Structure 1
Amino acid sequence: MPRPSHPAEKGQLHPRNRHQGRYDFPALIAASPELADHVILNPYGKQSIDFANPQAVRVFNRALLKQLYGIAHWDIPEGYLCPPVPGRADYLHGLADLLAHHNGGTIPRGAGVRALDIGTGANCIYPLIGVKEYGWRFLATDIDDTALACARTIVSANDLGNAIELRQQQERQHIFHGLLGSDEHFDISLCNPPFHASQAEASSGSRRKWKNLGRLDPQRKLPALNFGGQSNELWCEGGEIAFISRMADESVEVAGQVGWFSTLVSKAGNVELLRKRLSKLGARHLHIGEMAQGQKRSRFVAWRFSAASGPAAKA
């Protein structure tokens, strides 16, 4: 099974990513004046925000989405996952490149492309960016009714109801099973899976990140989770490998309805485990997309079962 890979340049975002270079704080503050209350100077004398402050991160994301994508209204409940926007955008650009590779080198744009977002969360970040960048239509799903209610408010407030549909997965232990109608088809699916096996592991991971950044001050009260997140957003029984393995298994059931399946994979060692599982399940094509931002490296894995699988076959 072929495994094409297109690694990112060291530390660089995708060339189409709008978040290149340093953040333009004057422009961000002009778009969202409330951000001014959260701007600090980092040790190098440059403007930044305190990423240990969940409220500051939420306001920062709101400013980014407004200034760069025209998302006028965006907010999430306290304690829900507040995603790093540049990395989320990179995933979408990587998926667009994947679709272009099988479309004569041209990125398919517009409402004729339909994407399925598994676990959209309260932030609804992938549909928002995907609609603004490429004009795709999204079905955004989640098991959490509070998250979906928040996402629905964001979609409605930005008049995106024609482009983004929201749906609850009623069977909490399933991913694709029971989710789609028999007549629904999608060019691509995407997912940011929970990657911890427990709350304790998630908290430990956050503290380790702060320590590595030299910011773990015993006198300072830091959040347990640096970007927030509910249990279903950050951890599940068995952790990331259990979740993406279940996703792979269930993807067989809807193989004729989705052109390309994809998921972020946080732990590099899980890529080979997923590849072996997909091979046994009969996946015919596998793509590993490499991404990078500064010192952080990540990747997504995409697969499909047939060259004539779903609407992507028309590309």
Structure 2
Amino acid sequence: MFTFANYPFSKMPKKVKVKVKKSVEKGSLHPRNLHIGRYDLQELCASSPGLKPFVAPNQYGDESVDFSNPEAVKALNGALLKHFYGIDGWDIPEGYLCPPIPGRVDYIHNMADLLAESNNGVIPTGNKIKVLDIGVGANCVYPLIGNSVYGWQFVGTDIDSKAIDSAEKVVSLNKQLKDAIEIRFQANRAEIFKGVVNEGEVFDLVVCNPPFHATRQEAQDSSAQKWEKLGVTEDKKGLNFGGTNTELWYAGGEAAFIGKMINQSLLLARQCMWFSTLVSRRETLPVIYKALEKVGAIDVKTINMSQGQKISRVVTWTYLNEAERTEWMQKRLDAV
């Protein structure tokens, strides 16, 4: 198995090369994203009849879904995953994060473009590409989309046993995912990679949607702001912005979590080509870049993403130079 076991880490440069790569213009999704424009709700209802009770005319007379209703949002997500990605039986336990599908799809497409850079501009597809999802969550959304669109294999990890059970259930309901997605429980909360990555196991990419908030109160305040924007009164609040403690907040916020992920990524420097993480706050970027410089990452790219008024970015890093990444990809795709 190709692992870069003899890679000379002593020759790594001390300074990190930071690049900012803008993937799409503000307010737009990735060109390959199937969710550009308005949803065809009638088409979605035809694929998933369970969505129909939640579709009704809005104040402008257009058919819409009430995004203040948690059951409606969950039904919409299930319909999108069924109609566009062939996923049956998607569900999440009450109180768990219900992710916005278009934004999650954008992450996967941008990562496909990143991998293509080491494959003569051609996106590598099929089960020879293996991705590690840190914090797969109860929704298991990145593996579901990544396998459906590109045929990649996934390993999803989480510290929440209930989330693990939920993700495994979705996988079990879809025969095409049986050998494509593996869910692993991380028993040690102090570790991100150790304990869930096998010795010598190789990944082409790591993805992560980290907890953004530093405290429970900060997460609650953010949720309250979203409710206010929707014009939802106190007595009608539900769980559409759901999320457990482990999904929403981490002591020190996203900067602390991503900093730990960067430090521990050295453990997989010879076993993974690209590491990546979603970053919610622009002010976190300098902290991340400093941490990457400290560990000696060879190349760093920041990919800007946006959906309407929401702006986020993905920071990626690698311990392999361009020539080594090309060699890595060639050997991975040529492997029997």
Shorter-chain TM-score category? over 0.9
**Contact map agreement 2:68 2:230 (CA 8 A) in 1:** no
The question of whether the paired residues in 2 share the 8 Å contact of 1:185 and 1:311 is answered with no
The residue type equivalent to 1:255 in the other structure is A
Looking at structure 1, the residues matched to 209 and 58 of structure 2 have their Cα atoms a distance apart, in angstroms, of 30
- 2:283 corresponds to which residue? 269
Residue identity matched to 2:247? E
Percent identical pairs in the alignment equals 50
| Counterpart position of 2:178 | 161
The yes-or-no answer on 1:22 pairing with 2:57 is no
SS of the residue corresponding to residue 190 of structure 2 reads: coil
CA positional deviation for 1:194: 0.3
RMSD: 1.6
The normalised TM-score by structure 1 is 0.95
> Equivalent of 1:305, from 310, 319, 332?
319
Question: Structure 2 regions of 5+ residues with no counterpart?
Answer: 1-16
Question: Take 2:184 and 2:233, find their aligned partners in 1: how far apart are those partners?
Answer: 42
Shift of residue 268 of structure 1?
1.0
The residue that corresponds to 1:207 in the other structure is 224
* 1:57 equivalent in alignment to 2:73: yes
1:258 matched to 2:272? The reply is yes
Aligned to 2:113: 97
- Aligned pairs for 1:180-259 within 5 A: 180-211=197-228, 213-218=229-234, 220-223=235-238, 226-259=240-273
Q: Is the 8 A contact 1:73 1:154 kept in 2?
A: yes
Q: One-letter code of the match for 2:141?
A: I
Matches of 1:187 and 1:87, distance apart in 2: 22
Q: Distance in 2 between matches of 1:184 and 1:133?
A: 23
Q: Distance in 1 between matches of 2:198 and 2:108?
A: 25
Deviation per CA, 1:237-273, whole angstroms, max 9, x where unpaired?
1111110000001001111111100000001111121
The count of aligned residue pairs is 312
1:6-85 aligned within 5 A: 6-85=22-101
CA drift of 1:9 comes to 1.5
Question: Match for residue 3 of structure 2?
Answer: none
- 1:181 CA drift (Å): 1.2
Per the TM alignment, residue 311 of structure 1 is displaced from its structure 2 partner at its CA by: 4.4
Structure 1 stretches of 4+ with a deviation exceeding 3 A read 308-315
Compute the displacement of 1:30 (Å): 0.4
